[in-house]
Amino acid sequence: MELFVDILFNGISFGSVYLIAALGLAIVFGLMGVINLAHGELIMVGAYSTFVTQLLFKEPFLKPFFGSYIIVSIFVAFIFSATVGILLERLIIKRLYGNPLETLLGTWGVSLFLQQFVRSFSLSFGTSVIISIISGVSLKNIFPKSIKERFNEKYIRLSNWIIPIFIGILSNNFLATNIPRIRRPDSRLVDVTSPKWMRGPFEIYGESFPKTRLVIIAITVISVIAVLIFLNLTEWGIRIRAVTQNRSMSECLGISTKKVDTITFGIGSGLAGVAGVAVSLLGSVGPDVGQLYIVPCFMVVVLGGVGNILGTVLASFGIGILTDIFASGRLLTLFPNAPSFVFNTLNFFSTSSMAVVLIFSLIVIFLQFKPQGLFPQKGRTVE
């Protein structure tokens, strides 16, 4: 029984990391058919923004609220990653819709670019670039209508961007003078320290569970529920699903597919940012943190069946539980008296890396039988 609880808990906690990391991808890839290889770097943006938020909360004026920084950083990470994602969509992906292979290569280029960006530029600079973009976009909407209507005039549009740039410079100065750690470019790993209340084990009925893992499971569950509510109950969610199902028909019915694309991509990217918060709680934050997750994320989405959130959920928990069973050598504990050949084989695969080998091979084999994943999309195709 204890073993069962262990496997279930560990499986769910490994799985929830996969799930939160893949959730954004499930939306971007599943609903829009966009292969975003820069998804890992959006996770990285989220992780770095957690780090910066944490440093801000170490400043004297926010110090008393340090315990709650993690909640704030979820929102910050969502907004920052979504901004980068929307920028990416507007600048590059927009031109490549309907060309999945080209999108794949283009986003890979973006991911290389982003990785090197955080190595070569200081965090304060990166943060202020994003801040100025955000303020530029939001300022436009704050202006009174009379000015807004004239926005297409060149000079007003230009002056609209002068203020955000100014804000960016100010915030860069502010960050760089107050937080020396992010003043200079640095490719070193940075530390995200969870607040005291999140550290250590949580004990119940004689079983102890690590609190960080519990928090991550909670973040994941809330995100999944939020996504489901958004997609099924809100107006934009319904529009997104409509565009997913039939793009040209939705367009005929007056849905602005362009806007839908941007919003969908923004939400997917934002969720990658939330995943960044989770990832930063577990391990190190560095320029290549995203590379660790990108391939597993795609496997989860493909295994679950494209365009199906439920499938993604099941696939990630399945992979999580299998990881625990193989990598922690659970089968050895369950069958200590297995014949020596079986025992040796199990032992051979009971490391993290061999578990990856085994699970990925299983997925590749599984997809031979069910190429559409666990929950294939219903419909007719050219085939």
Partner 1 sequence: MNLKNLKAKNYIWAIISFLIIIMPFIVSVSRLKILGKSLALGIVALGVDLSWGYTGLLSLGQGIFFTLGGYAIAMYLQLNSSIGLPNFFSLYDVKSLPFFWEPFRSTYFTFFAIWLIPGLLAFLLGYLVFRNRIKGVYFSILTQAALLVFYNGINSQQKLINGTNGLPTPNTKLFGYLVGDPTTQKFFFYITAILLLLSYLFCKWLVSKRFGRILIAIRDDEARVRFSGYNPVVYKTIIFTVAGILAGISGALFTVQADLISPQYLLPPFSIEMVIWVAVGGRGTLIGAVFGAFFVRLFASLVSSAVPGAWLFIQGGLFILVVTVLPQGIVGWMNENGPKTLLIDISLKLDNFEKNFKLLPLPLKNLIKFLVKKSLTFSKKSITYPKLDHAGKEEVEL
Partner 2 sequence: MRISRRILAGLATASLAITATSCGGGSGSASFDNEITVGILHSLSGVMSISEKTLVETEKMAIAEINAAGGININGESYKINYFVEDGASNWPLFAEKAGQMIDAGYPVIFGGWTSASRDAMEPVFESKKGFLYYPIQYEGRECSNNIMYTGATPNQQSEPATDFMLNRSEAAGKPFFLVGSDYVFPRTSNSITKAQLKAIGGEWVGEEYLDLSSNEVGPIIAKIKKALPRGGVIINTLNGAQNVAFFKQIQDEGITPENGYYVMSYSIAEEEIKTIGPEFLEGHYAAWNYMMAIDTPASKTFAKNYKKFTKDPDAVVADPQESAYNMVYLWKAAVEKAGTFENAEVRKALVGTTFDAPQGPIEVMPNHHISQKVRIGQVNSEGQFTILETSDDIIKPQTWNQFIKEDKGFACDWTDPVNKGQKYKL
Closest CA to 43 of 269, 218, 223: 269
Total chain residues near partner 1 (CB under 8 A): 54
- According to CB under 8 A, which residues from 22 to 81 bind partner 2? none
List the structure tokens of 343: 């025992």
Nearer to partner 1, 215 or 297 (CB): 297
User: Is 36 one of the binding residues for partner 1 (CB under 8 A)?
Assistant: no
Of the candidate residues 62, 104, 165, 198, the single one contacting partner 1 (CB under 8 A): 104
- Collect all residues with Cβ–Cβ distance below 8 Å to 37 and sequence separation of at least 6: 104, 107, 108, 110, 111, 294
User: Is 145 one of the binding residues for partner 1 (CB under 8 A)?
Assistant: no
| CB-based contact 262:86 (threshold 8 Å) | yes
Burial class (CB in 10 A: 0-12, 13-18, 19+), 121: middle
Type of residue numbered 7:
I
In whole angstroms, give the CA distance from residue 105 to residue 109: 6
Residue 89: DSSP 8-state:
H
- According to CB under 8 A, which residues from 161 to 220 bind partner 2? 180-181, 184-185, 187-191, 193-194, 199-201, 208, 210-213
Q: How far is the CB of 310 from partner 2 (least distance, A)?
A: 25
- The helix (H) or strand (E) run that includes residue 274 is helix 257-282
Q: How far is the CB of 82 from partner 2 (least distance, A)?
A: 25
Please choose, out of 8-16, 36-44, 156-164, 235-243, the segment that lies near partner 2 by the rule CB under 8 A: 8-16
Taking the alpha carbons of 205, 224, 20, 280 in that order, is the dihedral positive or negative?
negative
Q: Indicate which of partner 2, partner 1, none lies near residue 145 (CB less than 5 to 8 Å, by partner kind).
A: none
Secondary structure of 292-317 as H, E, C letters: HHHHHHHHHHHHHCCCCHHHHHHHHH
Q: How far is the CB of 247 from partner 1 (least distance, A)?
A: 6
Type of residue numbered 146:
S
Closest CA to 285 of 99, 128, 50: 50
- According to CB under 8 A, which residues from 323 to 352 bind partner 1? 351
Nearer to partner 1, 60 or 371 (CB): 371
Please choose, out of 208-216, 325-333, 338-346, 368-376, the segment that lies near partner 1 by the rule CB under 8 A: 368-376
Please choose, out of 50-58, 111-119, 200-208, 323-331, the segment that lies near partner 1 by the rule CB under 8 A: 111-119
Q: How far is the CB of 205 from partner 1 (least distance, A)?
A: 37
Q: How far is the CB of 263 from partner 2 (least distance, A)?
A: 32
Q: What does the buried/exposed string (b/e) look like for 237-260 if buried means 16 or more CB atoms within 10 Å of the residue's CB?
A: bebbbbbbeebeebeeeebebeeb
Q: Indicate which of partner 2, partner 1, none lies near residue 127 (CB less than 5 to 8 Å, by partner kind).
A: none
Burial class (CB in 10 A: 0-12, 13-18, 19+), 344: exposed
Residues that bind partner 1 (CB under 8 A): 33, 35, 92, 95-106, 108-113, 115-116, 119-120, 244-247, 291, 295, 298-299, 302, 351, 353-354, 356-357, 360-361, 363-364, 367-369, 371, 377-383
Residues that bind partner 2 (CB under 8 A): 6, 10, 13-14, 119-122, 125, 180-181, 184-185, 187-191, 193-194, 199-201, 208, 210-213, 281-284, 286, 288, 292, 323-324, 327-329, 333, 351-353, 355-356
